[in-house]
Amino acid sequence: MWDRTRQPNQWNQMNHNPLFLALDVPRLDVAEALARKVSGHIGGIKLGLEFFCAHGHHGVLEMHKLGLPIFLDLKLHDIPNTVAAAMQAIHVLEPAIVTVHASGGQAMMEDAKAAAGENCKVVGVTVLTSIDDKNLKPLGIDASPHDMALRLADLAQASGLDGIVCSGHEVGDIHRQWKDGFFVVPGLRLPDGNKGDQKRIVTPRQARDAGASVLVMGRPISRAEDPLAAARAIEATYRFSTALGDTIDCPSAIPGSKQMKPSRLALLALAAFAVPITAQAQEIDGLAVAPGSTLLTLTAEGKSSRRPDLAVFSAGVATTGKSAREALGANAAAMNRVIRALKAAGIAEKDIQTSNLNLNPVYGSRQRASSTLEEQAPPIIGYRASNNVTVKQRKLDEFGKVIDTLISAGANQVNGPSFQMDEPDEALDEARREAVAKARQRAQLYAGAARLTVKRIVSISESSSNSGGPPMMYARAMAMDVAESTPVSAGEVEMQASVTVTFELAP
């Protein structure tokens, strides 16, 4: 799961990557592979209706393994009680952002926000980026998309939502009215990109400069010949800064596309990422750079595979009751049985850790006062308690038996496993060496194309990750008889290291 210790209202102040990759693809393995490939150059993952209808809770939990914030773009739009119940149903998925349609009205948005909890941003969809003036008029709306978006933004703010979804054409005006709002901008394309079914589009850089908190892009990355190069190039257009502190724009064409030849790619890369030092010798991060030298920053990835020796999963119990005390009491009794079963199965106490404890009200139908015809707040008809522990299973050949034991003991929530290595340093070092070698090889390629030489490495930074081989198992079941042990295959763990290296090039 992503780090939820950072409060969502701090996102605008943090130096985070605002780019969220839209993964509306029918195959889960394809979505996982794509997200993992570009994970070093995106700030989160957007999962929409196509993904959620195809893969449900299981698919969302799979994507959580990447450790990135999840944006559930479900665009909920129904009566207030139904939307509130839907928000409660997805609460267990711990989304960072969820969308509702602002046109659903103030009562619906208020209930959605109340049911979501404080760790989830709820944003209202204003006017879809595929809609223009011609589409609004048949709906009986005389306002322009711009004016309609501003009206719905005002309603969303009055309803207590965290922000809205709008096109880059409106975000600047809305941001000026809603200073602390959280603004999600989809429909982004690079200047020479294919617009597809989008009509009101801007570039990522334009949206960011206008006040966008989150930039959503899908097809420009997912349908590129080289998605990693595409994500890297898009990221550079809005956040790349030189070592001297000057922000520069990068080429809009995606590296690896059919329109770009290798020699042109090398020259464009140098033009976009290289910083010439033409004055006197200067210090950059305490390092002297000779006059006439050029800085080139590259990112490369290395990989290393091993058999895992550790399985991490979560198990727990969800219970309901008419009162909070009743729900918690039933949960405590059931959870104690689950923990005793884990210890009896040979799991050490140090490998069992409480990871999630929740108590939430369950709402009934919203009532309408007959005398005033005003809607009343939905009544609380009960409470739902859930308690989960994170477990480290070190005997992988016994994993299936442990799961069966938990189900028999009363566990009705099991998420996992995530296969890992207990001591990954050796495999990570192998991936690091490969990443640095690739970066140096690319630097030599670019330098040769520009008739320069690689003088030295100025700086190196890295980010590392690991990913299990097989899909994560996800189960929600009541106690049941199991004839055979649950089959689980550990596969291999792939360790990845991504390094960003700055080279000094000289004539």
The pLDDT of residue 194 is 55
CATH class, domain 263-306+424-469+496-506, is: alpha beta
Cα 168 from Cα 217, distance rounded (Å) = 13
Catalytic sites, residue numbers: 75
User: Considering the domain 8-239, what is its CATH architecture?
Assistant: Alpha-Beta Barrel (3.20)
pLDDT tens digits, one per residue of 371-421: 554 556 678 889 989 898 989 999 888 888 888 889 999 998 887 787 888
Low-confidence ranges of the chain (pLDDT < 70): 1-15, 191-200, 239-289, 365-377, 463-486, 488
The pLDDT of residue 253 is 32
The pLDDT of residue 105 is 92
Cα 327 from Cα 319, distance rounded (Å) = 6
b/e per residue 345-355 (b: at least 16 CB within 10 A): bebeeebbeee
The pLDDT of residue 464 is 46
Whether the Cβ atoms of residue 238 and residue 214 lie closer than 8 Å to each other: no
Secondary structure element (H or E) that encloses residue 414, with its range: strand 413-420
Cα 66 from Cα 418, distance rounded (Å) = 10
pLDDT tens digits, one per residue of 161-197: 999 999 888 999 999 999 999 999 998 887 665 555 4
**Fold of the domain spanning 310-420:** Alpha-Beta Plaits (3.30.70)
b/e per residue 162-181 (b: at least 16 CB within 10 A): bbbbbbbbbbbbbbeebeeb
> In the chain, what are the domain boundaries?
8-239, 263-306+424-469+496-506, 310-420
Q: Nearest to residue 103, comparing CAs of 130, 141, 137? A: 141
